[in-house]
Structure 1
């Protein structure tokens, strides 16, 4: 596989052509010999414990098992770097090339890729516009399919035939006086038939035809046509050919990714993939031999079906047919099993890499935090921000070098905590809770140093993380560059992510004791009415009386309040009017009293409310005007 020197922006997963699969594994030696094809099922020689040539661990194909040493031992040492041994054909190089050099198995008969055959939906069945059951009948040699009906009246393109029907038509062709004319390959069976049908599809023409049909189609037929058009459009867009879903060659992954190790007592432990590859090679070689000696068709066909099943098990064991098991009836791990799931190659090894400037700890509630803050344990913070602290200590002249600064940090010198406070001021950190199922699963917070070993989290951001405080853990990451810090502050800060990106609804809403507190402050409680109907000149007097225990939180009092009152939808009702000799008027409503002069101007206003509602109103107004 060629070494990628250039930088790249993304990795795209797609269909590989047979030529590309062989290109991955093929290499030319200086003597003109092309190596890369694995032809033998053997792994290592049980006497010499060296890899067998052209086998699954072949040094000629995959590189030397020992650094700077060829298979036969003629060349040893680094001074022979790059030389290809003329006796054994092994290149003298580092053994780590066995982690990325690939090989391939050239198949004696094509086989379908089980992902595209048995996936949901089946792309092969969708492209051929045939039921999956029919496609499986063809692939596993249970039915013939008509490729070219010739001049036969009772045959149609893609029609399925049983063995008896096929033989009957063959007999008709060779009857005397028969005018039935069919080409030699009028019907086919197995993956070769599927490959031929896929090759016959002209993608652009088919897409145009489908677009015209969609305009007039309705209901379920329309949905089926749209599904088929989508698959065809994707093939056109990626430049892939449908027949590539039928494999002519199988890539063999590097041997160090499917190792074989010697145990105590001389036994060997091997990766399941080696057993699955061995089954494929054995069946492939047997099929090639049967074809060579012109064996009867029924025997060849049975061997082709077994090869198809072996390749299915290698790619995705258990997806179809009987699961291949090893010792103790344990299912063997196929390529799909290695890739998929939490412990698979992507989530465990590629996305789940350990990174510097990160830590994890249990989360606890931090009710005294602002929504954009998190409590970061001092022990964790000094470790995460250590380079910044060391830099600042040296800049200030507290220490002269990095070693002295590290010693200061190890001894928990009081001087470091002030420096740490300065370093974290305005430096956001990212908190992530696995599984990160949407963008709000990772958010930025301003760290506040706290004692203990647990991360403190504001209770309102829990719904976004789907977190609770029953032992959940969260990871902390430090954005290093100024660009990363700016991005974290502008795009990822918790206070900037109040709405769900999926629905647009608020994801941060008052909850738990906040709702309970708001309800309790504003509730009616007829049993707690101490100081009821007292009159107060201003809000401060009410609060002072409440703090001194002169009035209860739920006792209704009259409060002079000359500001605007938003009545909302609560009807005032008819007021009780009392006129004074001076011409002034007092209107008494259910919840307020208003005194007006003879011109109708407001002189004073009293509101009938409770100290709890006054406190609630003050808190809301101060929060809105901040």
Structure 2
């Protein structure tokens, strides 16, 4: 969904959904969510304590039932905001809420409760997130950036390897190009090792100590990333020249330790390159969008169904042994060109001509199906433009595409400026 909270709101929601061991009030049992909120207000229980609560939910038939579940007072507060709908159960928010999880919850609420409830829910989520971020008092101090103890060892090992390559080059065993590639590889590896150690250090939760706030900011998805924290507390690593070539002497210091004159000079390359690239890229991306729109502007949804029997076979996108895009992502929201059958039971999961919903896609993945035949815009037989069945779901609304939608222009703009 396009409505996803950011920054402070995410940080607040992440903080309140944290769960910690041996907190004040751990093990308490509550009759309902209101009791938890009362106990929180009185200070009888901590926001992150593991507690048991009886929550009202609905069973498969939509009947109201109550169940006892393990949760934290913070998560109970979140659940209190959910719309009253059989599909919006407590389990939806009974986990650590990172930006991705918050986005999934909003998506779920929109799919099952409609637009009005979603807007009200998002508004209440915003107020709660800001309030919690304020109460949490999460700040950013230089002491939060811990440089790993093993950094010196990794740097010394890398320097020794680089010396070996220098010697091999002087002895004529390797060429200048080979030496350059090997040196860059060694420093990249060293930089990654330091970064991993540093992330391990700041993500460790110690009993009785507050959780590292920089880690919370990055892990929740509120602000910053591992790469940025690496420069602050690990080592800045390799820099690029304006030409795009990598300088083979890395910046070993982090911003916390401070850079020496040579390192600072080398890092100015990167800063200038970033600004120059930004200035030059803008014109190109605008021009690309313009040319794409020129090509695709006549692609409009003109009819409901062109009646073609053709389809496109899709499989998961692989890069070596890694899955880049799963079958779930490739078929979600598309129309099936033939019946999708579960080979083990012989049951039809999705009939031809039906749209693949989230539930269908999950079942297809569970059934271990590795390819599917779907309707595609490439094979549409509409005389002008494209038909609704070959296009599939309108991603902006989560429903079937409407006739008259300018899908060509939308596609062009999505590629030009994602």
Instruction: Give the TM-score band, short-chain normalised.
Output: under 0.3
Please give the TM-score of this superposition, normalised by the length of structure 2: 0.24
The structure with higher relative contact order (CA 8 Å, sep 6+) is 2
